[in-house]
Amino acid sequence: MTTTLQQELHQTRPFVSIEAEAFLSVARTAALLGNELADALTPHGLTPTQYNVLRILRGAGVSGLCRYEVGDRLVAPVPDVTRLLDRLEGAGLVGRARDPEDRRQVKARITPAGLQLLDELDEALQAVHASQLGHLGEKRLRMLIDLLAAARKRT
């Protein structure tokens, strides 16, 4: 029996295991959803990772976060958070300063321009997410969220 994923990938042979099919299904879905997000962010000069950093820093508030704290909170980890923050700082969306209580720490904070950009994006990105997943309904979305959490915890 051919699965939907096999059809999408034009694969004629069965998957080697149900786990392999599930993994590829998650990866394919993440890629398609991620591409739509990237397309929505491109006109604003942001990548999905840059957008994620701005959201993280907005959530951190005025106290800001150190580079490693930003890295720990990223949805998809990247190898060079410093360079990512450099680009956002160069665009005027993030500012950095030494922590007065611990001069070894450099705190990154979202700037007013960064906050304004996120405010402009919030409604548009909510519409993207609704278009991508709204048809599933709240009950199925909750089930999906719970299943994905269980997969990450391996329970």
Residue 82 is assigned to a structural domain of this protein? yes
- Per-residue tokens: 121: 């994006």
Is 101 a domain residue?
yes
The two three-digit tokens of residue 47, written as one number = 């990548």
What is the per-residue pLDDT across 29-58, written as a single tens digit (0 to 9) for each? Answer: 999 999 999 999 999 999 999 999 999 999
Q: Per-residue confidence at 142, pLDDT binned at 50, 70, 90? A: very high
Judge whether 13 lies within some domain. no
Domain tally, the chain? 1
Q: For residue 104, give the CATH number of its domain.
A: 1.10.10.10
Q: Which amino acid is at 155?
A: T
Cα separation, 39 vs 46, whole angstroms: 10
Tens digit of pLDDT for each residue in 71-80?
999 999 899 9
Q: Is residue 116, in this structure, part of any structural domain at all?
A: yes
Q: Considering the entire predicted model, what is its pTM? A: 0.88
Residue-wise pLDDT tens digits, 88-137: 999 999 999 987 777 788 899 999 999 999 999 999 999 999 999 999 99
Q: Which helix (H) or strand (E) holds 65?
A: strand 65-66
What pLDDT is attached to residue 2? Answer: 63
Write down the pLDDT at residue 82. 93
With respect to residue 110, please indicate whether it lies within any of the assigned structural domains: yes
- For tokens 């994620």, name the residue: 52
Asked, for residue 12, whether it belongs to a domain, the answer is: no
Q: Residue 98's pLDDT is what?
A: 86
Task: Note down the domain range covering 109.
Answer: 47-123
